[in-house]
Amino acid sequence: MATIQSKGYGAKGSLLSKLHEMDFEREEPKANEVLIDILYCGVCHSDLHQVKNDWGNTVYPCVPGHEIVGRVAKAGGSVKNFKEGDIVGVGCMIDSCGKCSSCQDGEEQYCEGPKGFTATYNGPAKPDGSNTYGGYSVNIVVKEEFVLRIPEALDVKKAAPILCAGVTTYSPLKHWKVGPGQKVAVVGLGGLGHMAVQLAKAMGAEVTVITSTEEKRSAAIELGASQVIVGEDEKALKEYELSFHFILITIPDAFDINPYVMLLKKDGVLVTVGMLSNYKKGTDNNEVAFHRRSIAGSLIGGIKETQEVLDFCAEHSIAPEVEMIRMQDINDAFERMQKEEVRFRYVIDMQSLK
Protein backbone atom coordinates (compact mmCIF):
# COMPACT_ATOMS: atom_id res chain seq x y z
CA MET A 1 0.00 0.00 0.00
CA ALA A 2 1.33 3.43 -0.96
CA THR A 3 2.38 5.71 1.88
CA ILE A 4 3.24 9.34 2.44
CA GLN A 5 5.89 10.71 4.76
CA SER A 6 4.94 12.57 7.89
CA LYS A 7 6.67 13.97 10.93
CA GLY A 8 5.45 15.05 14.30
CA TYR A 9 6.15 15.07 18.01
CA GLY A 10 5.50 11.98 20.08
CA ALA A 11 6.40 10.00 23.20
CA LYS A 12 7.91 6.52 23.07
CA GLY A 13 6.88 5.46 26.58
CA SER A 14 5.43 6.64 29.88
CA LEU A 15 8.87 6.74 31.54
CA LEU A 16 10.08 8.84 28.61
CA SER A 17 7.04 11.09 28.52
CA LYS A 18 8.90 14.00 26.98
CA LEU A 19 7.84 14.50 23.38
CA HIS A 20 10.45 14.40 20.65
CA GLU A 21 10.41 14.92 16.90
CA MET A 22 9.80 11.69 15.02
CA ASP A 23 9.28 10.58 11.44
CA PHE A 24 6.54 8.13 10.44
CA GLU A 25 4.36 7.16 7.51
CA ARG A 26 0.67 7.54 6.80
CA GLU A 27 -1.28 5.63 4.17
CA GLU A 28 -2.20 7.45 0.98
CA PRO A 29 -5.85 8.59 1.11
CA LYS A 30 -8.37 6.05 -0.17
CA ALA A 31 -11.27 7.04 -2.41
CA ASN A 32 -13.38 8.20 0.57
CA GLU A 33 -10.57 9.94 2.45
CA VAL A 34 -8.85 13.31 2.44
CA LEU A 35 -5.24 14.25 3.10
CA ILE A 36 -5.03 17.33 5.29
CA ASP A 37 -2.02 19.59 5.76
CA ILE A 38 -2.28 20.59 9.42
CA LEU A 39 -2.13 24.31 10.14
CA TYR A 40 -2.99 24.42 13.86
CA CYS A 41 -3.56 21.91 16.65
CA GLY A 42 -4.93 22.61 20.11
CA VAL A 43 -3.26 21.21 23.23
CA CYS A 44 -5.84 19.35 25.33
CA HIS A 45 -5.30 18.30 28.95
CA SER A 46 -6.11 14.75 27.85
CA ASP A 47 -3.00 14.87 25.62
CA LEU A 48 -0.93 15.15 28.78
CA HIS A 49 -2.85 12.33 30.49
CA GLN A 50 -2.44 10.09 27.44
CA VAL A 51 1.28 10.73 27.04
CA LYS A 52 1.83 9.85 30.71
CA ASN A 53 -0.45 6.78 30.47
CA ASP A 54 -2.53 8.10 33.37
CA TRP A 55 -5.52 6.06 32.17
CA GLY A 56 -3.52 2.87 31.61
CA ASN A 57 -4.47 2.51 27.94
CA THR A 58 -1.79 4.41 26.00
CA VAL A 59 -0.40 2.82 22.86
CA TYR A 60 3.15 3.93 22.15
CA PRO A 61 4.57 5.66 20.26
CA CYS A 62 1.99 8.30 21.17
CA VAL A 63 1.57 11.27 18.82
CA PRO A 64 -1.17 13.34 20.49
CA GLY A 65 -3.50 15.98 19.11
CA HIS A 66 -7.26 15.89 18.43
CA GLU A 67 -8.08 19.56 17.90
CA ILE A 68 -6.94 19.91 14.30
CA VAL A 69 -7.47 22.67 11.75
CA GLY A 70 -5.88 22.28 8.34
CA ARG A 71 -6.17 22.62 4.59
CA VAL A 72 -7.23 19.80 2.28
CA ALA A 73 -4.20 18.81 0.19
CA LYS A 74 -5.82 15.90 -1.64
CA ALA A 75 -9.32 14.44 -1.84
CA GLY A 76 -10.10 10.85 -2.82
CA GLY A 77 -12.14 10.17 -5.95
CA SER A 78 -15.44 9.55 -4.14
CA VAL A 79 -15.20 12.50 -1.73
CA LYS A 80 -18.18 14.80 -2.32
CA ASN A 81 -18.13 17.50 0.33
CA PHE A 82 -14.51 18.64 0.38
CA LYS A 83 -11.99 19.70 -2.22
CA GLU A 84 -8.36 20.71 -2.35
CA GLY A 85 -7.80 24.02 -0.57
CA ASP A 86 -10.78 23.79 1.81
CA ILE A 87 -10.16 24.74 5.46
CA VAL A 88 -11.38 21.83 7.57
CA GLY A 89 -11.25 20.39 11.07
CA VAL A 90 -10.72 17.02 12.70
CA GLY A 91 -11.79 16.35 16.27
CA CYS A 92 -11.45 13.44 18.65
CA MET A 93 -12.54 10.62 16.31
CA ILE A 94 -11.63 9.43 12.83
CA ASP A 95 -13.83 6.32 12.55
CA SER A 96 -16.52 4.18 14.19
CA CYS A 97 -18.47 1.04 13.33
CA GLY A 98 -21.22 3.09 11.66
CA LYS A 99 -23.78 0.34 12.33
CA CYS A 100 -24.72 0.35 16.01
CA SER A 101 -27.61 2.40 17.42
CA SER A 102 -25.28 5.10 18.75
CA CYS A 103 -23.58 5.57 15.39
CA GLN A 104 -26.94 5.55 13.62
CA ASP A 105 -28.09 8.28 16.01
CA GLY A 106 -25.03 10.42 15.17
CA GLU A 107 -23.40 9.77 18.55
CA GLU A 108 -20.27 8.00 17.36
CA GLN A 109 -18.51 8.81 20.64
CA TYR A 110 -20.66 6.09 22.23
CA CYS A 111 -20.02 3.55 19.46
CA GLU A 112 -21.02 0.07 20.62
CA GLY A 113 -19.10 -1.78 17.90
CA PRO A 114 -16.35 -4.31 18.66
CA LYS A 115 -13.67 -1.61 18.88
CA GLY A 116 -15.73 1.41 19.87
CA PHE A 117 -14.83 4.59 18.03
CA THR A 118 -11.35 5.01 16.60
CA ALA A 119 -9.65 7.96 18.26
CA THR A 120 -7.67 10.48 16.25
CA TYR A 121 -4.68 9.23 18.19
CA ASN A 122 -4.10 6.14 20.34
CA GLY A 123 -6.20 3.85 18.15
CA PRO A 124 -9.59 2.27 18.98
CA ALA A 125 -11.38 3.12 22.23
CA LYS A 126 -11.27 -0.62 22.96
CA PRO A 127 -7.58 -1.30 22.31
CA ASP A 128 -6.71 -4.02 19.80
CA GLY A 129 -2.99 -3.32 19.46
CA SER A 130 -3.33 -0.94 16.52
CA ASN A 131 -2.45 2.74 16.75
CA THR A 132 -3.30 6.08 15.20
CA TYR A 133 -1.20 9.24 15.14
CA GLY A 134 -2.76 12.62 15.90
CA GLY A 135 -2.41 16.28 15.12
CA TYR A 136 0.99 17.03 16.62
CA SER A 137 2.17 16.40 13.07
CA VAL A 138 2.33 17.99 9.64
CA ASN A 139 -0.51 16.02 8.01
CA ILE A 140 -3.29 13.51 8.59
CA VAL A 141 -5.53 11.26 6.48
CA VAL A 142 -9.20 11.04 7.50
CA LYS A 143 -12.45 9.55 6.16
CA GLU A 144 -14.73 12.22 4.70
CA GLU A 145 -17.47 11.43 7.23
CA PHE A 146 -15.19 12.51 10.10
CA VAL A 147 -14.00 15.78 8.55
CA LEU A 148 -15.63 19.03 9.72
CA ARG A 149 -16.29 22.25 7.85
CA ILE A 150 -14.75 25.32 9.50
CA PRO A 151 -17.15 28.28 9.10
CA GLU A 152 -15.63 31.33 7.46
CA ALA A 153 -16.69 33.48 10.41
CA LEU A 154 -14.29 31.64 12.73
CA ASP A 155 -10.65 32.67 13.12
CA VAL A 156 -8.72 29.59 11.96
CA LYS A 157 -6.02 30.30 14.55
CA LYS A 158 -8.57 30.02 17.36
CA ALA A 159 -11.00 27.42 16.02
CA ALA A 160 -9.09 24.25 16.92
CA PRO A 161 -10.13 23.99 20.62
CA ILE A 162 -13.80 24.01 19.62
CA LEU A 163 -13.24 20.52 18.17
CA CYS A 164 -12.73 19.05 21.65
CA ALA A 165 -13.19 21.60 24.44
CA GLY A 166 -16.11 23.14 22.58
CA VAL A 167 -18.06 20.00 21.76
CA THR A 168 -17.24 18.31 25.09
CA THR A 169 -19.10 21.10 26.88
CA TYR A 170 -21.71 21.80 24.19
CA SER A 171 -22.90 18.18 24.11
CA PRO A 172 -24.11 17.93 27.75
CA LEU A 173 -25.51 21.48 27.71
CA LYS A 174 -27.58 20.55 24.67
CA HIS A 175 -28.53 17.06 25.90
CA TRP A 176 -29.91 18.35 29.21
CA LYS A 177 -31.64 21.24 27.41
CA VAL A 178 -29.90 24.13 29.13
CA GLY A 179 -31.62 27.39 28.20
CA PRO A 180 -33.37 30.57 29.31
CA GLY A 181 -34.57 30.68 32.91
CA GLN A 182 -32.00 28.19 34.13
CA LYS A 183 -29.17 28.79 36.58
CA VAL A 184 -26.01 26.98 35.54
CA ALA A 185 -22.74 26.58 37.45
CA VAL A 186 -19.48 25.84 35.66
CA VAL A 187 -16.81 24.40 37.95
CA GLY A 188 -13.26 25.06 36.76
CA LEU A 189 -12.23 27.78 34.33
CA GLY A 190 -9.63 26.15 32.12
CA GLY A 191 -9.83 25.03 28.51
CA LEU A 192 -13.21 23.32 28.87
CA GLY A 193 -14.67 25.66 31.47
CA HIS A 194 -14.06 28.87 29.55
CA MET A 195 -15.89 27.38 26.56
CA ALA A 196 -18.76 26.15 28.76
CA VAL A 197 -19.34 29.64 30.18
CA GLN A 198 -19.63 31.20 26.73
CA LEU A 199 -21.84 28.43 25.35
CA ALA A 200 -24.24 28.33 28.31
CA LYS A 201 -24.53 32.12 28.25
CA ALA A 202 -25.33 32.06 24.52
CA MET A 203 -28.00 29.41 25.19
CA GLY A 204 -29.72 31.89 27.50
CA ALA A 205 -28.77 30.54 30.92
CA GLU A 206 -27.57 32.57 33.90
CA VAL A 207 -24.02 31.35 34.50
CA THR A 208 -22.01 31.15 37.71
CA VAL A 209 -18.34 30.14 37.71
CA ILE A 210 -16.86 28.22 40.65
CA THR A 211 -13.07 28.43 40.78
CA SER A 212 -10.33 28.01 43.35
CA THR A 213 -8.39 30.92 41.87
CA GLU A 214 -9.21 34.53 42.71
CA GLU A 215 -7.16 35.64 39.71
CA LYS A 216 -9.76 34.14 37.37
CA ARG A 217 -12.65 36.24 38.68
CA SER A 218 -12.30 39.02 36.13
CA ALA A 219 -11.81 36.56 33.26
CA ALA A 220 -15.01 34.73 34.24
CA ILE A 221 -16.99 37.95 34.17
CA GLU A 222 -15.51 38.90 30.80
CA LEU A 223 -16.55 35.52 29.41
CA GLY A 224 -20.16 36.07 30.48
CA ALA A 225 -20.54 34.82 34.05
CA SER A 226 -23.08 36.66 36.19
CA GLN A 227 -21.25 35.77 39.40
CA VAL A 228 -18.09 34.03 40.53
CA ILE A 229 -17.63 31.82 43.59
CA VAL A 230 -14.04 31.48 44.76
CA GLY A 231 -13.54 28.40 46.90
CA GLU A 232 -14.28 24.73 46.48
CA ASP A 233 -14.90 23.47 50.01
CA GLU A 234 -18.22 22.99 51.80
CA LYS A 235 -17.83 26.14 53.88
CA ALA A 236 -17.29 28.37 50.84
CA LEU A 237 -20.20 26.81 48.95
CA LYS A 238 -22.76 26.41 51.75
CA GLU A 239 -24.71 29.59 51.02
CA TYR A 240 -25.32 28.37 47.45
CA GLU A 241 -27.06 25.11 48.38
CA LEU A 242 -30.16 24.31 46.27
CA SER A 243 -29.26 27.05 43.79
CA PHE A 244 -28.58 25.50 40.38
CA HIS A 245 -30.58 23.60 37.78
CA PHE A 246 -27.43 22.29 36.09
CA ILE A 247 -23.78 22.01 37.12
CA LEU A 248 -21.00 21.22 34.65
CA ILE A 249 -17.72 20.18 36.30
CA THR A 250 -14.61 20.53 34.12
CA ILE A 251 -11.92 19.67 36.67
CA PRO A 252 -9.46 17.32 34.88
CA ASP A 253 -8.20 15.40 37.93
CA ALA A 254 -9.84 13.49 40.78
CA PHE A 255 -11.91 15.65 43.18
CA ASP A 256 -14.61 15.34 45.84
CA ILE A 257 -18.00 15.62 44.14
CA ASN A 258 -20.08 15.96 47.32
CA PRO A 259 -19.77 19.72 47.95
CA TYR A 260 -21.16 20.34 44.43
CA VAL A 261 -24.08 17.91 44.78
CA MET A 262 -25.40 20.12 47.58
CA LEU A 263 -25.67 23.05 45.17
CA LEU A 264 -28.26 21.36 42.94
CA LYS A 265 -31.91 22.25 43.12
CA LYS A 266 -34.51 19.49 43.31
CA ASP A 267 -34.33 17.55 40.03
CA GLY A 268 -31.04 19.27 39.22
CA VAL A 269 -28.35 17.56 37.15
CA LEU A 270 -24.59 17.47 37.74
CA VAL A 271 -22.37 16.35 34.85
CA THR A 272 -18.61 15.75 34.92
CA VAL A 273 -16.59 16.08 31.72
CA GLY A 274 -12.89 15.62 31.04
CA MET A 275 -12.17 13.48 34.11
CA LEU A 276 -12.13 9.72 33.48
CA SER A 277 -10.83 8.49 36.84
CA ASN A 278 -12.66 7.90 40.14
CA TYR A 279 -13.88 10.69 42.39
CA LYS A 280 -11.77 11.24 45.50
CA LYS A 281 -14.67 10.19 47.74
CA GLY A 282 -17.81 8.17 47.19
CA THR A 283 -21.01 10.07 46.41
CA ASP A 284 -23.33 10.70 49.37
CA ASN A 285 -26.48 9.16 47.92
CA ASN A 286 -28.53 10.57 50.80
CA GLU A 287 -28.04 14.04 49.31
CA VAL A 288 -28.79 12.73 45.82
CA ALA A 289 -31.99 10.90 46.77
CA PHE A 290 -33.59 13.47 49.04
CA HIS A 291 -33.79 16.06 46.27
CA ARG A 292 -34.10 13.66 43.33
CA ARG A 293 -30.81 14.95 41.97
CA SER A 294 -29.01 13.27 39.07
CA ILE A 295 -25.27 12.64 38.68
CA ALA A 296 -23.98 11.94 35.17
CA GLY A 297 -20.99 12.00 32.87
CA SER A 298 -20.55 12.93 29.23
CA LEU A 299 -17.91 12.05 26.64
CA ILE A 300 -16.92 14.51 23.85
CA GLY A 301 -19.60 14.72 21.12
CA GLY A 302 -20.61 13.16 17.83
CA ILE A 303 -19.67 14.43 14.39
CA LYS A 304 -23.07 16.10 13.87
CA GLU A 305 -22.79 17.85 17.24
CA THR A 306 -19.24 18.93 16.48
CA GLN A 307 -20.38 20.63 13.29
CA GLU A 308 -23.26 22.15 15.25
CA VAL A 309 -20.97 23.69 17.85
CA LEU A 310 -18.65 25.08 15.17
CA ASP A 311 -21.65 26.74 13.51
CA PHE A 312 -23.05 27.85 16.90
CA CYS A 313 -19.76 29.52 17.81
CA ALA A 314 -19.63 31.25 14.42
CA GLU A 315 -23.22 32.48 14.81
CA HIS A 316 -22.72 33.78 18.36
CA SER A 317 -19.15 35.11 17.91
CA ILE A 318 -17.77 32.65 20.46
CA ALA A 319 -14.06 31.90 20.31
CA PRO A 320 -11.60 30.07 22.56
CA GLU A 321 -8.95 32.22 24.19
CA VAL A 322 -5.66 30.80 23.00
CA GLU A 323 -1.92 31.21 23.35
CA MET A 324 0.01 30.30 20.21
CA ILE A 325 3.15 28.18 20.64
CA ARG A 326 5.71 26.44 18.46
CA MET A 327 5.74 22.65 18.23
CA GLN A 328 9.22 22.71 19.75
CA ASP A 329 7.77 24.29 22.93
CA ILE A 330 5.31 21.48 23.68
CA ASN A 331 7.19 20.01 26.66
CA ASP A 332 7.34 23.41 28.35
CA ALA A 333 3.64 23.84 27.59
CA PHE A 334 2.85 20.50 29.26
CA GLU A 335 4.74 21.58 32.37
CA ARG A 336 2.86 24.86 32.50
CA MET A 337 -0.44 23.02 32.07
CA GLN A 338 0.37 20.84 35.07
CA LYS A 339 1.07 23.98 37.09
CA GLU A 340 -2.16 25.61 35.78
CA GLU A 341 -0.12 28.47 34.34
CA VAL A 342 -1.84 28.53 30.94
CA ARG A 343 -4.75 30.99 30.82
CA PHE A 344 -7.06 28.76 28.79
CA ARG A 345 -5.76 26.86 25.74
CA TYR A 346 -2.48 26.43 23.89
CA VAL A 347 -2.61 26.11 20.11
CA ILE A 348 0.40 24.85 18.15
CA ASP A 349 1.32 26.63 14.93
CA MET A 350 2.33 23.71 12.77
CA GLN A 351 4.34 25.91 10.43
CA SER A 352 6.99 25.67 13.16
CA LEU A 353 7.43 21.98 12.30
CA LYS A 354 7.61 22.53 8.57
Sign of CA dihedral 132, 113, 102, 257: negative
Distance CA 264, CA 246 (A): 7
Mean pLDDT of 37-59: 94
Q: What domains lie within the chain, and their CATH numbers? A: 3-161+321-353 (3.90.180.10), 166-297 (3.40.50.720)
Q: Is the pLDDT of residue 17 over 80?
A: no
Whole-number pLDDT of residue 15:
67
Work out the pLDDT band at 16, boundaries 50, 70, 90. Answer: low
pTM strictly above 0.75: yes
Greater model confidence, 15 or 256: 256
Q: What is the mean pLDDT of residues 99-111?
A: 98
Which pLDDT tens digit goes with each residue over 187-229?
999 999 999 999 999 999 999 999 988 889 999 999 999 999 9
